Every structure is written in structure tokens, then in C-alpha cells.
């Protein structure tokens, strides 16, 4: 995959003027979807186009969604504000990008030592997460939906080997969300930047290491060309949910059947997106090792333990946040994590460990 295909759309674009209402003609609506990704970037860029196409199809063409990649109408990190303010009708991104709005938002996307992809949607649907998600995003006039998941992300690309927690101190490291706070507590200099920018920073030495998503997406961006040590497990993001945010006024103006079309388009993509990541990550990892000389390395146990201690401090601080809604979100998350985590010891974890013990028969 030629990484240069995804750099052209990465430049910051001018912000379009807000629209008072979406264009409607003969009960047809033209919606602009702005995304945080280069167009057709393997993984999130592909998923964003799938969502645009599915909303158009499920609405019977009554909502026509046109996708604008990062930089085409607004910068990738500007899509939340664009939809909140009415510049665009909807966006595709990840909650991990909106910590400056509220740290409570970050728990809806990924959490250090947190929920897997199936557990994340379980919290939303069965553990009260969606109601809290709606309440938080409602502050910004956005109706939110989960619409995919990357599954387990990786620990990152490192220019040098990591043998102890001391080796992490002072490293300039690209990451996002609550993983940034965990990294900072371990003495790392956490940097926020887009995927293409991460390549450039690793290449020039402005970064020592960084994580983005996983083998499929990462290899398309070319990280294997500038850093050969690829670390697992990605405890900073055991999964990362992708989301669709719709301008609240635009959503509320829809008839009930079109509201259902938008909701089902998002919900119906969660598993296809997640399982595509899983399949193509597995294929890409084999190629990275066999053809690109990548060294797959496990973080030492003492490094993982230090990360766990830092992650606990992050959660404790959220529990004491001055915002009462943030405190309710974190308590709901912790309760669901502990509930399903206890069960998974016997169920999925037990099954996966047993399978690993006999692989190759």
C-alpha cells in the first residue's frame, strides 16, 4: 500500500461557512459528512465511506451523504466543532480526540486497561452507557452513535528497544485520549497528531515512538519504514470505538423512519468494521514481519505493571472530577468493566488461553 495516497488529504483545509439548515428538496436531504481521516485510509477512512453509503442506502436516497475527508472542508480535529456549530451535518471520528471538551468523553472510545470491542458496545447497550453518551454530547448539540471499532490497538512503533519503565521516561510519544495521560504519568512526553504527521515526526526524529491503530492501518502509513520495533499489548487502548456524530437540530428534524435509518446504519456497521480490522490486521502483520523486517516485541511485565499503576491514577482523578456527569460516566464504566471482566476470566479468557495451548493441531 502506497502511503502517499493518504497524505494529500491530510493538509488543513479552510472551514466552510455554517449552514442554517441542510438542503432539502422533495423530501431529499443532502448531508455533508466530515471525517478525521484521509480519504479511504485503510481502517477508519474506509469505514467512514461505508457509513456514508449505508445511510444513503437505508434512507432510500432521502438522505444523500457526501463524504469530505480531513482537510477538504475542515481539519480532521475540527469535525466535532463543525457538526456542533452546523457547518456540516455529521462527522466520523473517535471519542479519543475530544478530551479538550470533557475528559468524560474519552471513556466512550477507549480506556487504558479498559473494555474490549464487544464489552464497549455491551456497556453502551446494556450498562447505561448510551444514556450517558447522549447526555454528554447533548451539551454540544450532537447526537452520538458508535459505528465501528478497531479492536485491540498496538503498543506502538519504537525506534529503540524497551526493557524497563525507565526506558520510557523522556520519550516523545504519539498517542491520544486517556492513553496520553497514562503515558505522561510514566514520564513520557505525549504528543497528539494525525497518522500521516506521525510518520513525518518519526522520520525526522521529532518523535521517538508512537501508536496509531494496528498493522493494517499502520502499514499503509509506512511506519515500518522508520521504526522497526512494534510492541504489544496495546494496553492504552484495548479497543477504540469509532463514532458518528449528527447535528442535534438536523437529527431532531428527521421523521422517525429516517432517524431509525441513521441509527441502524451506525449500529449495523459495528461488527463488520471490527471484524474487517481483525482480519486485515492479521494479514498485514504477517507481511510486516516476513517482508519488512519488523520486530514484534512484547512489553516486559514490569513495564505493563507500571502502565497499570499509571492507568489507575488516571481513573482515580476522573472519579474526583469537578463535573458531576464525568463522575457518573466513570463510575458506570468501572462497574461494567468489573462485572464483565470477572466473567471473562472464565469465559473468553479461559477459552482463548485453552485454544492457544493447543494451536497447531
Residue ranges of the annotated binding site for substrate are 153, 174, 211, 237
Q: Which residue has the cell 423512519?
A: 257
Bond before 261 cis per omega within 30 degrees: no
Three-state SS across the chain? CCHHHHCHHHCCCCCCCCCCCCEEECCEEEEEEEECCCCCCCCHHHHHHHHHHHHHHHCCCCEEEEEECCCCCCCHHHHHHHHHHCCCCEEEECHHHCCCCCHHHHCCCCCCCCCCHHHHHHHHHHCCHHHHHHHHHHCCCEEEEEEEECCCCCCEEECCCCCCHHHHCCCEEECCHHHHHHHHHCCCEEECCCHHHHHHHHHHCCCCEECCCCHHHHHHCCHHHCCCEEEECCCCCCCCEEEEEEEHHHHHCCCHHHHHHHHHHHHHHHHHHHHHHHHHHHHHHHHHHHHHCCEEEECCHHHHHHHHHHHHHHHHHHHCCCCHHHHHHHHHHHHHHHHHHHHHCCCHHHHHHHHHHHCCC
Nearest of 343, 341, 335 to residue 127 by alpha carbon: 335
Residue with cell 474490549: 116
Residues belonging to the binding site are 153, 174, 211-212, 237
CB atoms within 10 A of CB 360: 4
132: nearest Cα among 335, 328, 340, 266: 328
Cα–Cα distance measured from residue 133 to residue 139, given in angstroms and rounded to the nearest whole number: 10
Neighbours of 187 (CB within 10 A): 14
Give the residue ranges of the annotated binding site for Na(+): 212
Amino acid at each position: 500500500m502506497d502511503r502517499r495516497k493518504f497524505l494529500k488529504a491530510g493538509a488543513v483545509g479552510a472551514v466552510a461557512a455554517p449552514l442554517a439548515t441542510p438542503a432539502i428538496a422533495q423530501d431529499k436531504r443532502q448531508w455533508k459528512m466530515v471525517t478525521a481521516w484521509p480519504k479511504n485510509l485503510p481502517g477508519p477512512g474506509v469505514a467512514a465511506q461505508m457509513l456514508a453509503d449505508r445511510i444513503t442506502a437505508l434512507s432510500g436516497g432521502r438522505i444523500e451523504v457526501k463524504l469530505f475527508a480531513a482537510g477538504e472542508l475542515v481539519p480532521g480535529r475540527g469535525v466535532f466543532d463543525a457538526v456542533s456549530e452546523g457547518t456540516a451535518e455529521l462527522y466520523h471520528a473517535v471519542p479519543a480526540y475530544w478530551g479538550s471538551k470533557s475528559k468524560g468523553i474519552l471513556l466512550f472510545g477507549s480506556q487504558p486497561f479498559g473494555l474490549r470491542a464487544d464489552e464497549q458496545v455491551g456497556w453502551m447497550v446494556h450498562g447505561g452507557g448510551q444514556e450517558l453518551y447522549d447526555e454528554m454530547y447533548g451539551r454540544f448539540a450532537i447526537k452520538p452513535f458508535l459505528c465501528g471499532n478497531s479492536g485491540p490497538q498496538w503498543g506502538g512503533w519504537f525506534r529503540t528497544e524497551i526493557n524497563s519503565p525507565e526506558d520510557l521516561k523522556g520519550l516523545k510519544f504519539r498517542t491520544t485520549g486517556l492513553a496520553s495521560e497514562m503515558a505522561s504519568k510514566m514520564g513520557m512526553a505525549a504528543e497528539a497528531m494525525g497518522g500521516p504527521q506521525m510518520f513525518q515526526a518519526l522520520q525526522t526524529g521529532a518523535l521517538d515512538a508512537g501508536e496509531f491503530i494496528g498493522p493494517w492501518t499502520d502499514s499503509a502509513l509506512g511506519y515500518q519504514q522508520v521504526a522497526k520495533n512494534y510492541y504489544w499489548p496495546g494496553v492504552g487502548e484495548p479497543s477504540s470505538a469509532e463514532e458518528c456524530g449528527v447535528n442535534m437540530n438536523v437529527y431532531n428534524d428527521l421523521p422517525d423512519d429516517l432517524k431509525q435509518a441513521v441509527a441502524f446504519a451506525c449500529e449495523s456497521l459495528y461488527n463488520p468494521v471490527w471484524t474487517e480490522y481483525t482480519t486485515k490486521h492479521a494479514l498485514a502483520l504477517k507481511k510486516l514481519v516476513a517482508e519488512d523486517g519488523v520486530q514484534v516485541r512484547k512489553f516486559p511485565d514490569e513495564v505493563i505493571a507500571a502502565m497499570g499503576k499509571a492507568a489507575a491514577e488516571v481513573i482515580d482523578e476522573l472519579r474526583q472530577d469537578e463535573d458531576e456527569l464525568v463522575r457518573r460516566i466513570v463510575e458506570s464504566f468501572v462497574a461494567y468493566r468489573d462485572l464483565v471482566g470477572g466473567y471473562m476470566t472464565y469465559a473468553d479468557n479461559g477459552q482463548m488461553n485453552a485454544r492457544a495451548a493447543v494451536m497447531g493441531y
